[in-house]
Structure 1
């Protein structure tokens, strides 16, 4: 049975929900979730494996998700740097000087930002299902949606199936909570990829739990707006990262095909790339992958 401690911390005017596991004297792993996803997206199975291996683990709800504060984006827009500042506030709130930072998707971009701009706070970096934080996917997406080929040297757009899902999803009715939850489960199914089994029951339990605990479930859409803000700090070269880095990427990632993970690893000195066979963009609804990810993180943070 995991022993957990819930705690709210402040990042400026924003209150962030956090959850800590393990002994505070053990090395800390900070888990940073992806776009629009609550901190509980890091499954208890993974947390338990890390704690059992002798690590303190902290996960948290990004601003605009779960039990953390929501923001009026039109009045107070924010960017990746602000979300990275939230992660630092979480460490400060738990009196952690430096942590092993493990991020997935947007969370991995936040991890890259921290490793570049707040290097003293990052003991190691694990980037799961990520792209270089300075890569603007907009032009590639626009070309793909218009049926045009990718430009030379451009990182690839999502798979046709994922792009078709986006267009179908935009037309689907979402007038009731059940319809919205059904649509979310379908998105997780597509993100799982087409090779490994998809645990729909687990995904549905997760989605329902997220709806139950969110103060404002629609606020998470602000992450897409924040992700489109391209400031100079995001364009800082990843070659400045000195933390030992592990890049984990799925061979079947429909959102960020493997070339994105390869680019992250190529730009960070000494980074190690692990391509996980069959893994899509989100590994935690494919039976067996949570333990695989936990094992890789444990080996990297030893």
Structure 2
């Protein structure tokens, strides 16, 4: 029996909005979104494909996004570890002991954290468009913004086009709802990259719905602050991951170039790397959500 239900679960004092799709008796897949992104950042098409593949799928709004509670970061700063604890609270809220964990961008770092620190909760690990959880990207970004070459021992910075967009976005008008939607669309277009067609109607629907669901849009910026806090728990080697691991990455990702994915795959024992030709940093290209879901389904758990 396939069902879709929404509920709030508690993570400490916070309430998190969650949604489960599929047969509750099927193996669980937990989808963890990236920086400032709501649960609906996982396309419905991708969720439906996973459900058709025999999974129940759980997605949720991070703290500070969508319909979940918000935090005063100035007085209660949090870390990636606390966001990972939210993910565990979501599993607990559905009575799930272990799940196939799939994380995109910052969600990929959270997924790595779970696989390192709570291996019993992770049946398989799939990372999408992300970097090793212990990578300190700040210096590479700073050098690139200053027009300096990267250091020999660091992973590549974002593309020059993306960095130009970031600088320009600071002065982009956002006074009206339409201006905010257009600004977000421009970002998604850059993230898509030039190789694959950009599904602007789908992206526009997503942006409009995100704005409708957001209780406090500015709070999502706290994720950037949390992501920059490179705490000791993030420096634990990925070589301790025991879950079957799949690293999925686009060849045209403007934020994390392919070496970021290769670094994860090299550090996790037995990890499999799947490069998706033309894919950027997002799902807004026709057919791409189904393709990613099909890859996720190829990462089987080890027999109990």
TM range (shorter): over 0.9
Q: Which residue of 1 aligns with 2:285?
A: 286
- State the 1:215 CA deviation: 1.0
Contact map agreement 2:3 2:23 (CA 8 A) in 1: no
Counterpart of 2:222 in structure 1 is 222
Q: State the Cα deviation string for residues 187-233 of structure 1 (Å, max 9, x = none).
A: 01000011100011111110000111111111111101111111100
TM-score by length of 2: 0.97
Q: Give the 3-state SS of the residue equivalent to 2:274 in structure 1.
A: strand
Aligned partners of 1:176 and 1:255: how far apart in 2?
Answer: 28
Map 1:101-250 → 2, pairs under 5 A: 101-250=101-250
Please give the per-residue CA displacement for 1:168-198, whole angstroms capped at 9, x wherever unaligned.
1111111222211111111010000111000
Q: What SS does the corresponding residue of 1:19 show, helix, strand or coil? A: strand
Distance across 2 between alignment mates of 1:53 and 1:199: 24
Q: 2-side partners of 1:143 and 1:40: how far apart?
A: 34
Q: What is the alpha-carbon distance in structure 2 between the residues aligned to residue 160 and residue 241 of structure 1?
A: 33
Q: Secondary structure at the match of 2:84?
A: helix
- Name the structure 2 match of 1:295: 294
Q: What whole-Å deviation, never above 9, does each CA across 1:236-263 have from its counterpart, x for those lacking one?
A: 1000100000000000000101110110
Query: In angstroms, what is the RMSD of aligned CA positions?
Result: 1.1
Alpha-carbon separation, structure 1, partners of 2:11 and 2:300: 27
The structural deviation recorded for 1:25 is: 1.4
Structure 1 runs of 4+ aligned residues shifted over 2 Å read none
Alpha-carbon distance in structure 2 between the residues aligned to 1:52 and 1:281: 25
Shift of 1:3: 3.4
Question: What is the CA–CA distance in structure 2 between the aligned matches of 1:301 and 1:22, rounded to whole Å?
Answer: 18
| 2:5 and 2:21 in contact (8 A); partners too | yes
Deviation at 1:301, TM superposition (A): 3.3
TM-score, normalising length from structure 1? 0.98
Q: Which residue of 2 aligns with 1:50?
A: 50
Aligned mates of 2:216, 2:186 — CA distance in 1: 21
Mapped to 1, the partners of 2:224 and 2:177 lie a distance apart of 21
Structure 1 residue runs without a partner (length 5+) = none
Counterpart secondary structure, 1:171: coil
Aligned pair count reads 301
